[in-house]
Each structure stands twice: as structure tokens, then as C-alpha cells.
């Protein structure tokens, strides 16, 4: 749990590409980050100091199940492999359910 102002956000640190702790690619995923600004997201990503940190948001596209923004400690990325997979895992484990069978993730690069 992380606090920003008076709001608390859940986040998870996951190991992508491994079922065993400390053997995968680490990723921090902030859940329900819609009220965070890009500045807030960049600051949080810098604080985690991981190669990538993602933020799960409500989608802008009606076709998407959720939206993800991906940040490194110094910049936002339009797309990256392990962050999209790890974010999907966290979305599903947090109760996310696809609308139409397939999971449609929206990111800066598209659907």
C-alpha cells in the first residue's frame, strides 16, 4: 500500500517470467491509479527504482478491458514486454475479468 495525499493505492511487486520469487524480471504494479498524474507516476517509478513500474487505469477505449501506463525511473514507455504481461497478471489476480473472452490491454502504443 502506498499513500499519495489522503488516497491509498495498492501495489504489488511481481516476478515476471518466473513462478519463484527473486528469479524473474521485477515489476511494480499500482492498482486503480486513475487519480495519479503523470508526474506522480514518474515519481513513484523513480522511487521503486525498478526497470519498469506500471499503473492500472480505466480504459479510454470501449474495446479495452483496462489501460496501463509504463514508466522507467526516467521516462514513460509506450509499450514493453514484461510490464504488459506482469500488469495483466496483477489485473486478473485483483479481480479483473475480460469483457469478451480475450483480454484487451490498452497502452500508449494502442490495444
Q: What residues does each domain of the chain span?
A: 2-106
Residues 6+ apart with CB under 8 A from 107: 67, 68, 69, 70, 78, 79, 84
Q: Give tens-digit pLDDT for 18-50.
A: 988 889 999 999 999 999 999 999 999 999 999
Task: Tell me the CA distances in angstroms from 16 to 13, 37, 102, 105, one per residue in order.
Answer: 10, 26, 20, 17
* Catalytic residue annotation: 52
Q: Give tens-digit pLDDT for 95-105.
A: 999 999 999 99
Per-residue pLDDT, 98: 97
CB atoms under 10 Å from CB of 32, counted, come to 16
Q: Give tens-digit pLDDT for 61-85.
A: 999 999 999 999 999 999 999 999 9
Q: Fold for 2-106, please state it.
A: Diaminopimelate Epimerase; Chain A, domain 1 (3.10.310)
- CA pair distance 106, 65, nearest whole angstrom: 8
Residues 6+ apart with CB under 8 A from 37: none
Amino acid at each position: 500500500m502506498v499513500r499519495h495525499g489522503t488516497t491509498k493505492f495498492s501495489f504489488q511487486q511481481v516476478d515476471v517470467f518466473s513462478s519463484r520469487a527473486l528469479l524473474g524480471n521485477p515489476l511494480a504494479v499500482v492498482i486503480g491509479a486513475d487519480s495519479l498524474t503523470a508526474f506522480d507516476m514518474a515519481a513513484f517509478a523513480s522511487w521503486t527504482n525498478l526497470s519498469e513500474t506500471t499503473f492500472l487505469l480505466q480504459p479510454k477505449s470501449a474495446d479495452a478491458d483496462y489501460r496501463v501506463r509504463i514508466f522507467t525511473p526516467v521516462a514513460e514507455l509506450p509499450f514493453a514486454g514484461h510490464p504488459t504481461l506482469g500488469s495483466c497478471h496483477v489485473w486478473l489476480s485483483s479481480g479483473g475479468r475480460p469483457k469478451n473472452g480475450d483480454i484487451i490491454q490498452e497502452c500508449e502504443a494502442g490495444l
